[in-house]
Structure 1
Amino acid sequence: MSGGDGPLVVEAEPAFRTAHANPYNARLYTTMAAHGCRVRDLSYLRLFTRRVDVVHLHWPELTFLTGRSWRVLARMLLFRAGLRVARLRNGTKLVWTVHNVASHERRATPALRAMHHRLLVEEVDGLLSLTEGGLDAARNAFPELEGVPAAVTPHGHYRDDYDFGATRSEARARLGIRPEATLVVSVGMIREYKNIPALVRTVVAGDADLVLAVAGKPASPALAEEIRAAASGDPRIVLDLAFQSDEAIATWLRAADLVVLPYRAIQNSGSAVLALSADRPVVVPALGAMQELQDAVGPAWVRCFAGEFDDAELAASAAWATGVARSDRAPLDRLDWDGIAEDTAAFYRQVRGERAAPASVAVHETARS
């Protein structure tokens, strides 16, 4: 019934199926194969019929609250039934990595959201968070989970998932950016909370001698139009409002002097880790876990700002990016995947009661009674 000393069988949602959009999960679970885990994307059928030691959820609001109401209801009922059968058959445990306490977009009806909340607080056996601050936020949002085991396992880097081999000059030549320009970049899928129109307006309203490149697909036509209107034909603004391939993302980042992420709300940021993986300094709001990221990588690589990202902050950030001495490579040792995978596997076993977590895993509570 137990994983024992053999491989732990893990059903993760998601594991590998979203690698084309974000390689985070696939990199985590590929690395975990070396640490005694066999991982597959979640199958409800296997919950009913096969051995499953751990179910690992990442963004449950996306998993359960997406789609028509009848689909949302059916999905939650089927999952909960399958999980309970798996518990009886295998002693299966449910682990949740809390990337964000709440979704950036409101999903489903209030009744279905309440049902989703109950599913989490009644079924989760262990909490993982990317940061200490994220774990505190999860405890505050879900006080019912105060008694479950919890650990911090950081967001790993992206150095093995993108080709960052281009030099700054080579990347700029590909993109048609002047070699001498101070280039500020914001790259990736553009959503409302990322506050990109305000960033564009800040550059347009100021007199900074720089180039701002916004590269990514807006979440809606209205958001795309707002960004274009904010640019007002300013020659300092370069807009590439389309889906960006991995190659294009890497090229924009390697061309940059500075990556600015002026989010209105944020807990963790894969985009910030991506910028650092490309060895580019990043500016983020002093919200969520961003100051923990600064502590982990150093103030030469991560700048946190308070309040609005205005003209004064833009000038200060540009001066910081071009004037502060830093090494050629960002120090990302604390974001190494091998250690993260080892600690995640140890946490699985601790939650299952198979062995204590090693000292490297910050376990915050004893097992639920």
Structure 2
Amino acid sequence: MHIYPFPPRLAQSPYLDALYAQLPVDVYVDRRSPRRSFWRMLLSRGQRLLHLHFFDAVVQHPNRIVCWMRSTGWVLLLMLVRFCGVRIVWTVHNLQPHECFHPDIATRTVGRVIRQCHALTVHHHCTKQRIQKEYHGVPSIHVIPHGHADAPFGPMPTRAAARASLGLDPDVPVFLYMGMIRRYKGLELLIEAMPLLPQTMLIIAGHPADKQYLSEIHQRTARRINISLHPRYMNDNEAACYLAACDAMILPYTQITTSGMLVAAMAAGIVCVVPNLPPLIEQVRDGENGFVYLHGNAPSLIAAMERVSATPRRDLIGHHARTSLAAHTWPHVAGLFHALFVTVLRERT
């Protein structure tokens, strides 16, 4: 069995490394660049499977004509791959690009890509239902949860040690946003809430994907004394320190298909506050293993943050967050993928 992931690597996510490391040793995963692996995938014999993850960078372009040409070329390429006997499985991390230039083209492209696939995998049941409702000619869809490591960020320091390292007051409630700084993350709503929570601290930490958006965030936070902005990539040790120091992680997404950061934070036992978007509330149960607020509603977000501060045993909620994902370890998730790959490769086209 030869697996060809696309893209073969992800610079800002451990997902591919963690998944493919757990597949059986007799599975060959070709993670060379597509320019080096493409012709081997097309022309070799035996069991070959193209495993799609993200293709936004291939089809997205500000110019509408260029975007249409790229999207059409991508679908034609998948038709060629399928014609050559390669099986195609798409893990739908994002149903549409987060910063989408032309939504109508993106929607049509997704539908055409789906029709070239032999199977789809999604992380949530609501995503499966949405695809079945919005698209035609859909192949079998398999719900395979997002995996996690037992200690996603390595050893966690104590709260006191983490706060001392970061120079934070040991008694002030600290909320954290950590992850890529991008428009769909909804940071504006979180920043808007902070003046009404003057006795708390917000830390925004993560790599900025868009310099213009980062500039806007700088302007919004410039005069906010209870917001600290750290716009850079965090290694695991730094991430563990920030997570250990916070009372809760806030993930104020405007739209989302799945959140790897939510999975990692919950697996680390961190209390998370999320909007009531369908993929998120499949994982977070309000007051049990996290907190939920009304999507796009600042008063509701503020109320949820106040509930976090007023909850004396947040450690129990963090424990419930960790145990709710106990079955979603990478060995288990990789086993589900391997079983699916075997099934897809055995089926006749």
TM bin, normalised by shorter chain, reads: 0.7 to 0.9
Q: CA deviation at 1:159?
A: 3.8
Q: Does the CA contact (< 8 Å) of 2:152 and 2:268 recur in 1? A: no
- Rounded to whole Å, the distance in 2 between the matches of 1:345 and 1:212 is 41
Deviation at 1:328, TM superposition (A): 5.1
Choose which of 6, 18, 28 in structure 2 pairs with 1:38: 28
1:265 paired residue number: 255
State the alpha-carbon separation in 2 of the partners of residues 24 and 231 from structure 1.
32
> Would you say the 8 A contact 2:111–2:135 is kept in 1?
no
Aligned-partner residue type, residue 213 of structure 1: I
Residue 161 of structure 2 aligns with an amino acid whose one-letter code is: E
Distance 1:30 1:274 in 2: 18
TM-score by length of 1: 0.81
Partner AA of 2:289 in structure 1:
W
Deviation, 1:272, is 0.8
Taking the aligned partners of 2:82 and 2:59, their CA distance within structure 1 comes to 14
Aligned to 2:141: 150
- 1:352 has 2:345 as partner: yes
Counterpart pick for 1:60 among 55, 59, 63: 55
Q: Which of the numbers 262, 280, 289 marks the counterpart of 2:279?
A: 289
Helix, strand or coil: the match of 1:264?
coil
Whether 1:201 and 2:192 are equivalent positions in the alignment is yes
Cα 1:67–1:196, aligned 2, differ >3 Å: closer, same or farther? closer
Report if the CA contact (8 A) 2:252-2:275 is conserved. yes
Contact kept, 8 Å, 2:291 with 2:304, in 1: the verdict is no
The secondary structure found in structure 2 opposite 1:335 is coil
Whether the aligned pair in 1 keeps the contact of 2:91 and 2:120 (CA below 8 Å) is yes
Amino acid at match of 2:305: L
Residue 118 (structure 2) pairs with residue 125 (structure 1): yes
Q: Deviations over 1:141-185 (max 9, x none)?
A: 32320xx22211100114455223322222222211122221100
Pairing of 1:122-271 with structure 2 (within 5 A): 122-145=115-138, 148-159=139-150, 161-204=152-195, 206-271=196-261
Cα distance change of structure 1 residues 186 and 64 upon mapping to structure 2, 3 Å threshold: same
CA distance in 2, matches of 1:199, 1:121: 35
Distance 1:164 1:243 in 2: 19
Aligned equivalents of 1:67 and 1:232: distance in 2? 30
Give how far 1:242 is off: 2.4
Amino acid paired to 2:225: P
Q: What is the rounded CA distance, in whole Å, between the counterparts of 1:117 and 1:279 in structure 2?
A: 35
- TM (norm. structure 2) is 0.85
Q: How many residues align?
A: 335
1:333 is matched with 326
Are residues 109 and 133 of structure 1, via their aligned partners in 2, closer, same or farther at CA, if it must alter by over 3 Å? closer
The residue that corresponds to 2:2 in the other structure is 9
Deviations 1:103-129 (A, max 9, x none): 111146966x47734541331111111
Aligned partner (choices 91, 94, 110) of residue 97 of structure 1: 91
Shift of the 280–339 alpha-carbon distance from structure 1 to 2, 3 Å rule, reads same
SS of residue matched to 1:11: strand
The 8 Å contact of residues 14 and 25 in structure 1, kept in 2 or not, is answered as: no
CA displacement at 1:66 relative to structure 2: 6.0
How far the C-alpha of 1:347 sits from its partner, in A, is 1.2
Distance of aligned partners of 1:123 and 1:72 in 2 relative to their CA distance in 1, 3 Å threshold: closer
Q: Is the 8 A contact 2:99 2:183 kept in 1?
A: no
For 1:48, the equivalent position in structure 2 comes to 42
When residues 326 and 78 of structure 1 are mapped into structure 2, their CA distance, relative to the original with a 3 A threshold, is closer
Residue matched to 1:279: 269
Match of 2:292, SS state, is strand
CA distance in structure 1 between the aligned counterparts of 2:234 and 2:213, rounded to whole angstroms: 17
Q: Secondary structure, in 3 states, of the residue corresponding to 1:230? A: helix
2:292 to 287, 291, 304: 304
Is the contact made by 1:149 and 1:351 (CA closer than 8 Å) also made in structure 2?
Answer: no
The residue number in structure 2 matching 1:362 is: none
Go from structure 1 to structure 2 and tell me whether the alpha carbon gap of 1:353 and 1:272 turns closer, same or farther (over 3 Å shift): same
Which sits farther off after the overlay, 189-198 or 42-51? 42-51
**1:291 CA displacement:** 1.6
